[in-house]
Amino acid sequence: MNRVSDENLDALARDEEVEEVSNWRRNWRRFRRNRPALIGLIVLFTILAAAILGPMLSPYDTLTQDLSNRLQGPSWAHPMGTDELGRDSMTRVLAGGRISLGVAALATTVALTVGILVGSVAGFYGRWIDNVLMRFTDLALSLPDLFLLILAASLLGPSFTTMVIIIGLVRWMNVARLTRGSFLTLREREFVLAARASGTRSRGIIFKHLLPNSLSPLIVAGTLGVASAIIAESTLSFLGLGLQPPTSSWGTMLRNAQQQIFTAPWAAVFPGIMIFLTVVSVNFIGDGLRDIFDPGGATLGKSRFQRRLRSLRAGNEPPQLIAAQDPDAAIRVRPIDP
């Protein structure tokens, strides 16, 4: 009897030490070692600051037209040239960044919220609820996102809010799968069983024990989600189904630039570079975060391969508590039905 409880206590102690995300100093040191991630962070902050402060400091306004200065090339007065209505492109690019980044950040929040909700319910309650929700997730995954986005934009009409919602609603599936997967492994762990045994409510277990210990993959997924949301928004806007003038994001500006590629090719360069720089930075930051949370260097490749192999072999069974199956165990623990 002693043997088991000692081991369990040990595991309990180790669990909470290993899973802890809040060791900021150690994490920061590890993040810093990843040079591209650090540079990405600096670039992203620069872009953010420029987008927020730039339009305020700029001598030009984003909407005032100056028709005598139409489609000028880059110069000292207009570092990124002027557009077809003589507006200063740099000011517009920086202001467009607010929109692009804003849509991306909010859409990712929507995606995380929906994904965590679906994933927690599926992973915690299991059984038929899990089955229904996961089939629904599979269904959502088999509708290619850009097609769905275009259809939704065409149905709902373009606006800032619709952009945020529809982009969020096509990007929650991976988050849900990650949350569910981690809940399934965690819910049979000793510290969760202990919490359950001591009478913690389901809500408490989800928010105090399961969710905090599932955060690391979600942080990485959320970061990378911002990158894909930026691309989704700019693609939609570029295709003419996103934000409409005078609200302009980087994608909208590229759509205008496309009509001028013969007369003003430089106009297509700058907004694109901004999108590219932001996405590259976010991707590098995501990679750095993955380094922190997964120091074994388990890459995307490894985990996906292992998961497939395992699920093909085990027929998708959630991991069981060893003690539950061990007939010689001093304590017989039955997996708790939620």
Partner 1 sequence: MLKFVGKRILQAVPILVGISLVAFILLQLTPGGPGAAYRGLANVSAEDLARIEAEFGFDRPLIIQYFAWLGQFIQGDWGISFVARQPVFGLIMARLPATLLLMASGITVSLIISIPLGLIAAIKRDTWVDHTLTFLSFVGLSIPVFWLGLMLIIVFSVWLGWFPTGGMGPPGEDVGILTRIWYLTLPTVAISMVSLSFFTRYLRASMIETMDEDYMRFNKARGVPPVRRYMRHAFRNAGIPFVTVVAIHIPEFLVGALVVETIFSWPGTGRLFWDSALRFDYPVLMGVLVLVSLMVVASNLLADVLYGKLDPRVRLD
The site for partner 1 (CB under 8 A) is made up of 36, 135-136, 138-139, 141-148, 150-151, 153-155, 227, 231, 234-235, 238-241, 254, 257-258, 261-262, 265, 268-269, 272, 275-276, 279-280, 283-284, 287, 299-302, 304-305, 308-309, 312-313
What's the min distance (Å) between Cβ of 305 and partner 1? 4
Nearer Cβ to partner 1 (3/308):
308
Nearer Cβ to partner 1 (214/283):
283
Q: Which of 238, 268, 270 is nearest to 251 (CA)?
A: 238
- With 0-12 / 13-18 / 19 or more C-beta atoms within 10 angstroms meaning exposed / middle / buried, residue 242 is buried
What's the min distance (Å) between Cβ of 155 and partner 1? 7
**Using the 8-state DSSP alphabet, how is residue 58 labeled?**
-
Return all residues near 100 (Cβ < 8 A) that are at least 6 apart: 230, 233, 234, 249, 250, 251, 274, 275, 278
Q: What are phi and psi of 51, to 5 degrees?
A: -65, -35
Chain mean position to CA 126: 25
Looking at the DSSP bridge assignments, the partners of residue 82 are 88
Nearer Cβ to partner 1 (118/254):
254
How far apart are the C-alpha atoms of 38 and 254, rounded to whole Å? 29
How far apart are the C-alpha atoms of 68 and 14, rounded to whole Å? 70
Nearer Cβ to partner 1 (214/256):
256
What's the min distance (Å) between Cβ of 258 and partner 1? 6
How far apart are the C-alpha atoms of 27 and 8, rounded to whole Å? 28
Nearer Cβ to partner 1 (67/300):
300
What's the min distance (Å) between Cβ of 143 and partner 1? 5
Nearer Cβ to partner 1 (26/304):
304
What's the min distance (Å) between Cβ of 60 and partner 1? 24
* Helix 24-33 / helix 269-293 crossing angle, nearest 10 deg: 130
What's the min distance (Å) between Cβ of 166 and partner 1? 13
CB 108 within 8 A of CB 229: yes
Nearer Cβ to partner 1 (19/145):
145
Q: Within a 10 A sphere around the Cβ of 332, how many other Cβ atoms?
A: 10
170 SS3 class: coil
User: What Rg value do the Cα atoms of the chain yield, rounded?
Assistant: 25
CB 292 within 8 A of CB 25: no
- With 0-12 / 13-18 / 19 or more C-beta atoms within 10 angstroms meaning exposed / middle / buried, residue 117 is middle
Nearer Cβ to partner 1 (125/136):
136
What's the min distance (Å) between Cβ of 226 and partner 1? 12
What's the min distance (Å) between Cβ of 137 and partner 1? 11
